[in-house]
Structure 1
Amino acid sequence: MRNPISQLNFLFFSTLMAILIWMASPSVKGYVKDEITAFPLKAFEAHYNVNWLGLYSGESVHKLQRSKNGDYHFETRTEPRLRFLPFHYVESSDFIWQAGKILPQNYYYNIQEGKRHKKGNVSFDWKNNTIKNAQIRTPWEATIPEGDIQDKLTQTLSLRQALIAGKSDLTYMVAEEDKLKNYSFTVLGEERLQTNIGTFETIKLEHVSRKGHRTVMWFAKKLDYLPVKMIQTRRGKQVAGGEIVSFAPLKS
């Protein structure tokens, strides 16, 4: 079973008039420019419990950091609690922040699901407008389509960015191991949620796959819309989920 955590993995101004008045002030023009172009998500490390069929089955660690060269690195590692559980996930994404968008550069994955093992690297060549994965049995290459495109990890960061900005269009084109796939999210509402690290006001989102698998996620406003809980149901039964157990900000 594909780990739902890997699927995993946003500020409002009061009125338009207030924005225009503030931005028109000569004393803040330079400040406004810096704030608009700044990456909205802070570096962090978060740990999640992973459950499968109602049983605690492992832990997932998510870490976002800024590299020395100014780029960003986001990685997730999911390990089983017991050795006989047949899954292991290591994923990472290197990306840049440019013109208010996340531009993925490389998405690396090393995934074991039972007897199936897959490993590869999806690279984004923005200069030549291509995406490729040369490390799989049948090398894959595609043209970067118009509009926003993310990898399997930066999709979650872009979703958080959109929630911070108050956007309602939560549809993303995602480059997976050897194909492009659309993901759409629906806002179900707001909910006050109690977790192991505190109680948060959250935005509740839903994604329904083509097969009808339903994934519901809770994003904590206070933590820059970090996902703090997720459940997945298939045929009306909960099959997997995850919930945050620790969170720590990191130095950028």
Structure 2
Amino acid sequence: MIGHIQTLGGFVSRLIVSAFLTFSMASSAAVASPPVEWHQCVKTMTYDLFYGSHKIGFFERKLSWENNQQVDIRSRSKLSALVVKTNFEQQTRLVWSEMKNSFITQSFNRSISGLIDGRTRGQFNQDGTRSDIVNDGEKLSFNSGDLPLLDVEAVASQMRLNLIQGKKTFDFKMQESDDVSHYYFSVAGEETLNTNYGKVKTIRVEQIKKPDREVNLWFAPELDYQLVRGTYKRKILDLKAVLRNKREVCPQSYFTHNLSEMTAKSSAIAP
């Protein structure tokens, strides 16, 4: 039982919760990458984590763009279930690749402390075809000739962009601490959920080709395509993450730009 609970600090924090995407992108399907004016705000998302009906901790992600070309993501979680306590922290740097039409991981640094301690560092080449990993001192290298190798933050970011672009199925190669996993997802339909932001219409995405588990992610287009709920069920595990709040800190130039844009649109439709 303790061994299963310990995976909360790993799988939930890396795949389920980190899939609660927090990039601000335009909602137009024609947009290949986020417009510059959306890169200025620092965004923080906080999620409550549950095991069954019991709250066991929280997960938080903070995103900051630099020079409109790359984004730094800092994520952390604290989990407590039975006698197990786990602290999770990760720093990731991503860039947008026009060649791959995808977010690409440049590097990540992950640490887990608690009953089981661990630290993983990763460096990726420019097009994501190679990764060099140091996992608790062990050096590993991986290569991919088709899909780029992505860390969990890049997977999360690309998944949200795929939904914005109207895609229904997608798959990723995700770099783990000591291996690469191929994940497949499919849009299962639309559902209305009760959330901390009231009733919202969502897009439900499910993981496929993994019959031993059930993974569902709910994204809300009216909340900037943020993910508002995620569940993971496997054997005795019954995990859930729920969006508690989201915060944005934007420079004055952001508001000036968007105010000018809104004024122009209002003038265009004025009688």
- TM-score normalised by structure 2 residue count: 0.75
Asked if the contact 1:93/1:153 (under 8 Å) is kept, the reply is: yes
Partner of 2:143: 143
- Counterparts of 1:181 and 1:127, CA distance in 2: 18
Pick the structure with more helix per residue: 2
What is the CA distance between 1:148 and its match in structure 2?
A: 3.5
Q: Out of 15, 18, 31, which is 1:7 matched to?
A: 15
SS of match in other structure, 1:146: coil
Tell me which amino acid in the other structure corresponds to 2:230.
M
How do 1:23-42 and structure 2 match up within 5 A? 36-38=32-34
**Residues 110-161 of structure 1: CA distance to partner in whole angstroms, max 9, x if unpaired?**
123x522110111102279421113534210122432333112221111001
Matched residue count: 230
- Counterparts of 1:64 and 1:209, CA distance in 2: 31
Tell me which amino acid in the other structure corresponds to 1:132.
D
- Counterparts of 1:120 and 1:97, CA distance in 2: 23
Asked if the contact 1:65/1:72 (under 8 Å) is kept, the reply is: yes
Asked if the contact 2:213/2:232 (under 8 Å) is kept, the reply is: yes
**Residues 75-94 of structure 1: CA distance to partner in whole angstroms, max 9, x if unpaired?**
22111368954211112210
Unaligned runs of 5+ in 2: 1-5, 19-24, 252-271
Over 4 Å off, 4+ runs: 39-43, 81-84, 208-211
Partner of 1:56: 55
- Counterparts of 1:91 and 1:191, CA distance in 2: 32
- Counterparts of 1:59 and 1:128, CA distance in 2: 31
Asked if the contact 1:187/1:206 (under 8 Å) is kept, the reply is: yes
SS of match in other structure, 1:170: strand
What is the CA distance between 1:12 and its match in structure 2?
A: 5.1
How do 1:157-168 and structure 2 match up within 5 A? 157-168=157-168
- Counterparts of 1:209 and 1:115, CA distance in 2: 32
Partner of 1:153: 153
Asked if the contact 2:120/2:136 (under 8 Å) is kept, the reply is: yes
- Counterparts of 2:117 and 2:130, CA distance in 1: 26
Change in Cα spacing, 1:228 to 1:37, as seen in structure 2 (3 Å) is: closer
What is the CA distance between 1:68 and its match in structure 2?
A: 5.0
SS of match in other structure, 2:7: coil
Tell me which amino acid in the other structure corresponds to 1:148.
P
- Counterparts of 2:135 and 2:237, CA distance in 1: 34
Identity of aligned residues (%): 17
How do 1:63-212 and structure 2 match up within 5 A? 63-68=62-67, 70-80=69-79, 84-99=83-98, 100-112=101-113, 115-126=115-126, 129-208=129-208, 210=210, 212=212
**Residues 19-68 of structure 1: CA distance to partner in whole angstroms, max 9, x if unpaired?**
8xxxxxxxxxxxxxxx6443597652111111113211111111222025
Tell me which amino acid in the other structure corresponds to 1:6.
R
Tell me which amino acid in the other structure corresponds to 2:7.
R
Partner of 2:249: 250
Asked if the contact 1:62/1:77 (under 8 Å) is kept, the reply is: yes
SS of match in other structure, 1:86: strand
- Counterparts of 1:88 and 1:209, CA distance in 2: 30
Change in Cα spacing, 1:224 to 1:131, as seen in structure 2 (3 Å) is: same
- TM-score normalised by structure 1 residue count: 0.80
Change in Cα spacing, 1:153 to 1:36, as seen in structure 2 (3 Å) is: closer
- Counterparts of 2:62 and 2:223, CA distance in 1: 14
SS of match in other structure, 2:174: strand
Partner of 1:32: none
Tell me which amino acid in the other structure corresponds to 2:158.
S
Unaligned runs of 5+ in 1: 14-18, 20-34
